[in-house]
Amino acid sequence: EAQVTQNPRYLITVTGKKLTVTCSQNMNHEYMSWYRQDPGLGLRQIYYSMNVEVTDKGDVPEGYKVSRKEKRNFPLILESPSPNQTSLYFCASSLQGRSWETQYFGPGTRLLVL
């Protein structure tokens, strides 16, 4: 089944404890992206990647890192999480990242930083 998977789905952590949220897609998509969704603010892009070893900042990259060593994986790294990073995170992918393509989203990761 073609899909985007994220792990973990739910995570409670404490301020300053490094964490990684994994994202993987099995559709051979070149483009991958991370978003966060907060009440009243909608979806905001954190980072995106047009292909392996190519990453760019989105609208809210502060406090996050990403890497794209393989086409299928695009992990999101929070080196020192803070409570304002408590949010619902979505990973997404599309074939080549062209503006008219459909984005396929993962199921989301709910993060609570205490």
Partner 1 sequence: RKEVEQDPGPFNVPEGATVAFNCTYSNSASQSFFWYRQDCRKEPKLLMSVYSSGNEDGRFTAQLNRASQYISLLIRDSKLSDSATYLCVVSPLGGSQGNLIFGKGTKLSVKP
Q: How far apart are CB 46 and partner 1 at their closest, in Å?
A: 12
In the bound complex, what is the minimum distance in angstroms from residue 17's beta carbon to partner 1?
Answer: 25
Which positions ≥6 away from 22 have C-beta within 8 Å? 6, 7, 73, 75
d(CA 32, CA 91) in angstroms, rounded, equals: 7
CB of 65 to partner 1, least distance (A): 18
- Which stretches of the chain bind partner 1, using CB under 8 A? 31, 33, 35, 40-45, 48, 50, 56, 58, 90, 94, 97-103, 105-108
